[in-house]
Amino acid sequence: MLIRSGRRTAIRSAARPALLLLASLLPGLAATPAIASEESVDQLTRSALALDANPAKGRLEFREHCAKCHGPEGHGNATEVVPAIAGQRFAYLVRQLANLSGDQRDSATMHGVLSAKPLRGPQAWVDIASYLNAIPALRRAARGQGDKIALGRGIFLEQCSSCHRNDASGDDDGFVPSLRAQHYPYLMDQLNRLADGERHNVDEALVQFLRSFDSDEVRAVADYLSRLEGRGTVHRTMRSNGVVVD
Ligand code: HEC
Ligand code: HEC
C-alpha cells in the first residue's frame, strides 16, 4: 500500500504530465535545458556513440584502471557502495562516463579516476563501455531486508517501469539504466543522491518525482530491484557502424 499524504500526492500528480512529456522527449534529448555544460556533455556523448568501439582495448583499460574498485568481473562491491557495471547498457555507460568526467555528476572518486590521461577522451569511454556491456552481469547482488518486497514491486511497476521497462532492463533511448543485478546499498545511495540533485544532467521533473517518495518506499523499491538477477530481456540495438550492442 502506498501511503499518500496530501502534499506528496500533489507533487506526484504535478510531476506526472511532465514525466510523460519527459519520457516522450528523452530519445532525442532535444529538450535538455539549455545549460552550456549539459549541452556539451550531451554533444560529447553523441560523438562518442558514433566512434568504433574496441572492447579488447576496453578490457585492458578496465583491468588497469577500474578493476581494483569495481572488481575483476565488474560486479562492484556492496560494502564500499561501488556499483556493479558488468552487463549495464552501453549507451548509459558512455553517457555516465561523460557526466562523471566533468561536473555533471558528483563523485570525488570517479572524477579522480577519469582525470587520468588515457581515460580523458571519448574513445576510452566507448572501448570500456563496449567491453562491460558484453560481459556477464552479476548473478546475485547484495539485497535489502526483504520485508517490503511487495510494496517495492508495486511502486516499481506503477511508477518506474514506463522508463526502466517492466523487467528493469533499461532503455538506450533516453539513456535509461538497467536497474537489475545491482547492489542494494548502491541503489539506495543513488536514489537519495538523485533526489538530492547530485546528478545534474537529469531532468528536474524526475528529481522532483523521486523526491516525493518517503524513506520506506525508497527502501522497498531498492530491495525489490536488488533481487532481479541477471540481465533480463535483452533488446539489442544496431549502432550506426553496424555493431550490435545490448
Ligand atoms: C577508487 C575506486 C574506483 C575506481 C578505480 C573506479 N570507480 Fe567507477 N565508481 C566508483 C564509485 C564509488 C562509484 C559510485 C559513485 C560514487 O559514489 O562516487 C562509481 C561509479 C561508476 C559508474 C556509474 C555507474 C552507474 O550505474 O551509474 C561507472 C559507469 C563507473 N564507475 C565506471 C568506472 C570505470 C570505467 C572505471 C575505470 C576507468 C572506474 N569506474 C574506476 C569507484 C571507482
Ligand atoms: C521519466 C523516466 C524515468 C522514471 C519514471 C524513473 N526513472 Fe530512474 N532513471 C531515469 C534516467 C534517465 C536515469 C539516468 C539518470 C542520469 O542520467 O544520471 C535514471 C536513473 C535511475 C537510477 C540510478 C541507476 C544507476 O545505475 O546509477 C535509479 C536507482 C533509478 N533511476 C531508479 C528509479 C526508480 C526506483 C523509479 C521509480 C520510483 C524511477 N527510477 C523512475 C529515468 C526514469
CATH numbers and ranges of domains, the chain: 39-235 (1.10.760.10)
Query: Cβ(102)–Cβ(171) under 8 Å?
Result: no
pLDDT average, residue stretch 78-86: 98
Q: What is the pLDDT of residue 25?
A: 47
Q: Is the pTM of this model over 0.85?
A: yes
Residue labelled with grid coordinates 570500456:
128
Give me the percent of the chain exceeding a pLDDT of 70: 81
DSSP code for 221 = H
pLDDT grade for 92, boundaries at 50, 70 and 90: very high
Residue 177 CA, ligand 2 centroid: distance in Å: 7
pLDDT average, residue stretch 157-178: 96
Closest CA to ligand 2's atom 23: 190
Q: What is the pLDDT of residues 180-197, one digit of tens each?
A: 999 999 999 999 999 999
Distance (Å, whole) CA 78 – CA 187: 10
Q: What is the pLDDT of residue 37?
A: 79
Q: What is the pLDDT of residue 235?
A: 67
Report helix, strand and coil shares of the chain as percent, to nearest 5.
55, 5, 40
In this structure, what C-alpha cell is assigned to residue 93? 555507460
5 or 211: which leads in pLDDT: 211
Ligand 2: residues with CB < 6 A are: 19, 22-23, 83, 155, 159-160, 162-164, 174-177, 179, 187, 190-191, 199, 201-202, 206, 221
Q: Is the pLDDT of residue 88 over 90?
A: yes
Which residues does residue 34 pair with via DSSP β-bridges, in sequence order?
A: none
Distance (Å, whole) CA 58 – CA 37: 26
175 or 235: which leads in pLDDT: 175
CB 11 less than 6 A from any atom of ligand 1: no
Distance (Å, whole) CA 38 – CA 98: 10
Residue 117 CA, ligand 2 centroid: distance in Å: 30
Give me the percent of the chain exceeding a pLDDT of 90: 76
Lowest mean pLDDT among 10-24, 94-108, 163-177, 198-212: 10-24
pLDDT grade for 240, boundaries at 50, 70 and 90: low
Q: Is the pLDDT of residue 142 over 50?
A: yes
Q: Is the pLDDT of residue 80 over 90?
A: yes
pLDDT grade for 219, boundaries at 50, 70 and 90: very high
Closest CA to ligand 2's atom 19: 176
Residue 96, Cα to own-chain centre: how many angstroms? 8
